[in-house]
Structures are given as structure tokens and as C-alpha cells.
Amino acid sequence: MSAPSLVWLRDDLRIADNPALSTAAERGPVVVLYVLDEASPGIRPLGGASRWWLHGSLEALGAELGERGVALVLRRGEAGAIVPEVAAAIGAEAVFWNRRYGGAEREVDTAVKAELRERGLEVASFAASLLFEPWTVQTGSGTSFSVFTPFWNACRALPEPRHPLPEPEFTGASPAVPGDALHDWDLRPARPDWAGGLRELWSPGERGGRLQLRAFLTDDLGDYAAGRDTLGDRVTSRLSPHLRWGEVSPYQAWHAVAASGADGDSVSRFLSELGWREFAAHVLYHFPDLATRNWRRQFDAFPWRPADESKLRAWQQGRTGIPVVDAGMHELWITGTMHNRVRMITASFLTKNLLLDWRLGEQWFWDTLVDADGASNPFNWQWVAGSGADAAPYFRIFNPEVQAKKFDPDGAYVKRWAPEHLSGDAPEPIVDLAESRKAALAAYEVVRRAGA
């Protein structure tokens, strides 16, 4: 019998359309490894909601692999030490994984690949989480893109993304190797257990992702273009956490939607949203400090106000006195997600009405979103703040009251998530929208002069 292969999974927690897993299965016995790496330099620890999701996803994956006779080994620590150790323990001749694109992650992967090859192992990595890898999409002058529309046009000019791979067939028994017990990682909250709303709404795992994709195709895709911005009657895919954790691949989503026969505008709009996800990863690949530094360096001069703990806490807890903002922050806390339109409204309120640094909001979303992604989360915060690639101009300030009238005209969203605003029990607004808009425009002038 051939020697086993080791598959190191990260943000690709699925069996079908998994190139690393398929390649390993073709060779013989397979051992699957997941490393909870919070120790390697530069690796960002997961937020609370992401940790809750990861527990459910690994639990589901372990059961699915176990039914197929494949071991899922869990280890915690530095991947640079653990991956070669497990490969040696099982006598692996080959190690496979799917690529990731953050700067610290790439450094870890490069070092592991060099170590394994020095030991004489075959090592290969694959494209699995992006439709278009960042180095394949370039401007005419060979540089990276900073504006979405030409980026997406360049992507669409490339060959169509490959079709999803079928689920692999596994042969041979996985050799036994010790690993951690998932419950020992304490990924789920206990005291207090704040995850009741998450459990009610979400089903982490590949099966949950497959069911959600099917539900979107059947129920909402046809109305996606017309209804995705309507807050009360939610017409969104709810695929973002499944995509973030790789339970659904972008290839599966792309081809399922493209072949659905749904309204052409809705299909095009959804595919462009996948493109926006690609653009965020493209920017992160070329600017690894996206979560900590302004992409537009002139924003280093922006006069953010000193962190006002009372105002920041009011925003986090949905006690700003602004109905749609409070509704969005309540939805986030209860469900681990938020309507995309409201993400923009709440982010604009923090950065442009409160003049608080976008990094404070990005960190809160990182901790509370089940789909918190190392590229999309900071990218979108910088986009709203005006400091990022293809950013909304800083002087374009979302008025939350106008936004609510336009996208929640009957108040259904606010009624569901912030009913206190309809009963008269809401707090007074913590800021005057008109006056804070003037202050934001004055602050923008500082940035404009710095870039002149």
C-alpha cells in the first residue's frame, strides 16, 4: 500500500471541490490536519463569533470524514512545527494544501513548504478559495489594481473559472495519530453563553453551506438585483460565512448561480459580489497590512477623535439613538451577521459622524461577525472610511435617516431589531447628524490638503 498523504486544511473546510484533498485521495490513504494556529508571528487570532463557527464547522467536517474512513487530526500551536511533525508521525511522502493570501499566512506556508521539501517530501498547493489568484490579474502596465471596475473587467476577460471538482473517493485506512479533542479548545462561549442567536440561525459545515446555496438559488436569486438592498424583506444569499470558511467554494457558487437560469441582472449582480470578495483579497495580497494601516497614506493625517469609550460602547451595543444604526448593531450581536447595506450605514456613522478611527470598528466586526474575513473585513472598513482602495469619497457621508427611508420605508427592519425606537424607549441620539457631517467634511479637508 502506498504511503499516506497529509492534507493541511485551513479556510477550506469541505470535502467536495477541494483540490488538495482530491489530489491526496488519488494517491492512497489520507490524513487531514487542522491546526489552530494563534502562535505564529503575525497570525491574527480569531474573534469570538468566528471561534463559535469554527467549532461547528470542524465538528461537522470530522463526522463527514469519519464516515469515509478518513481521520481529522486537530492540533493547536505553531503550524511551522506541527505540520512537519504530523507528516513524520504518519510516514507521509506528500503534503498538500490550498493556498491562502494574507502576508503572515504566506510566510508560514513558505517556511513549511521549504522544511518539508528539505526532508524529501513532495509538497503542492492549489487554488481553492479564490476564482482568480491575485498575481494573475494585472493592469496593462503589470501592476495591481486599485479600482474595482477595471479589476473586474480584467477578471471577466480571463478564462471562466474552472468547474467544481466532485467529491473524492478515498481508499485505504488512515493511520492513527494523536490529536486534540475539539471541546478542549474552548471555542464556544460558556459563561455567559451568548451564542443562542447564532445557533438559531446558522448551520456551520459543508452540508449547511450546500443547503444554504440551494435555498438561495430556489428562493431569492431571482429577486437579488431588485431586492438585495431592501432591509426588511431580506433578499441576500447568506453564503458569506460558508464562503469565508470554505464550506462552499467560490467555484461552486459561481457555476451554480451562472447555470441557474435566473434573471440575468440578478445573476450578474451576484457574480460581481463574488468579484468584490476577490478584489478585497487582491488588495490584501499586495498590501498585507490592510487591517492596521491606511491604504491611502494621506489618511495618516486624518484627525480622528480620541477614542471616546462611552460613544464607542453606545455604537457597539446599539444605543446610539439612531434607529437603523441601533437595529444593525443589535442584529450583529444576536446573529453574528448584518445586512450589507446596514454594514455600510453603521460603519459610516462610526467613522464620519463620531469621527472614530475605522480600526476600532474593524476590530469590533472582527470579533462579532461569523464571516469575519482577513481581507474583506478591513477592506470594507477602509472603503467606507475613505482610506482604502476604490474607496467611497470621504465627503460622501451616509445619512442614516435618509438611508432608512429609502431602504426600510415601512420600518420593518427597525421594528424587528430595535423596537425600542417605535415604543418611545430609545436613548437620545449621541450626536447631531447635521453638525457631525460638517465636522467630518472639515476633517476631510485636512486629508485633502495632506495629499495635495
Q: Residue 246: which CATH number? A: 1.25.40.80
Among residues 223, 222, 209, the alpha carbon closest in space to that of 253 is found at: 209
Distances, alpha carbon 180 to alpha carbons 73, 90, 104, 288, in Å: 7, 16, 24, 31
Catalytic residue among 78, 340, 399, 420: 340
Catalytic residue among 254, 295, 381, 417: 381
CATH code of the domain in which 100 resides? 3.40.50.620
Pair (44, 73) in one structural domain: yes
Residue 428 Cα to chain centre, angstroms: 34
Cell of 281: 483579497
**What is the overall mean pLDDT for the chain?**
96
Structure confidence at residue 1 (pLDDT): 62
Q: Which residue has the cell 472598513?
A: 381
Pair (282, 404) in one structural domain: no
Residue numbers in the chain where pLDDT is lower than 50: 452
Question: Residue 357 falls within a domain, yes or no?
Answer: yes
DSSP H/E element including 34? strand 30-36
Is 8 among the residues known to form the active site?
no
Catalytic residue among 64, 105, 206, 273: 273
Structure confidence at residue 450 (pLDDT): 76
Among residues 6, 290, 247, the alpha carbon closest in space to that of 134 is found at: 290
Is 294 among the residues known to form the active site?
no
Number of domains in the chain: 3
What residues contact residue 324 under an 8 Å CB cut-off, 6+ apart? Answer: 231, 342, 345, 400, 401, 403, 404, 408, 413, 414, 418
pLDDT digits (tens, 9 = 90+) for 152-201: 999 999 999 999 999 999 998 888 899 999 999 999 999 899 999 999 99
Among residues 38, 22, 67, 48, the alpha carbon closest in space to that of 162 is found at: 22
Pair (266, 242) in one structural domain: yes
Question: Residue 189 falls within a domain, yes or no?
Answer: no
Is 78 among the residues known to form the active site?
no
Distances, alpha carbon 114 to alpha carbons 250, 378, 392, in Å: 29, 30, 41
Write down which residue in 224, 256, 286 finishes a domain: 286
- Domain of 77? 5-129
Is 358 among the residues known to form the active site?
yes
Burial class (CB in 10 A: 0-12, 13-18, 19+), 263: middle
Pair (247, 312) in one structural domain: no
Catalytic residue among 93, 304, 333, 399: 304
Is 202 among the residues known to form the active site?
no
Pair (114, 142) in one structural domain: no
Between CA 281 and CA 99 the distance in angstroms is 12
Is 315 among the residues known to form the active site?
no
Pair (304, 250) in one structural domain: no
Structure confidence at residue 452 (pLDDT): 46
Between CA 341 and CA 403 the distance in angstroms is 9
Question: Residue 173 falls within a domain, yes or no?
Answer: no
Distances, alpha carbon 119 to alpha carbons 92, 123, 170, in Å: 11, 11, 26
Question: Residue 171 falls within a domain, yes or no?
Answer: no
Question: Residue 184 falls within a domain, yes or no?
Answer: no
pLDDT digits (tens, 9 = 90+) for 286-334: 999 999 999 999 999 999 999 899 999 999 999 999 999 999 999 999 9
Question: Residue 199 falls within a domain, yes or no?
Answer: no
Catalytic residue among 358, 364, 383, 417: 358
Catalytic residue among 133, 185, 194, 276: 276
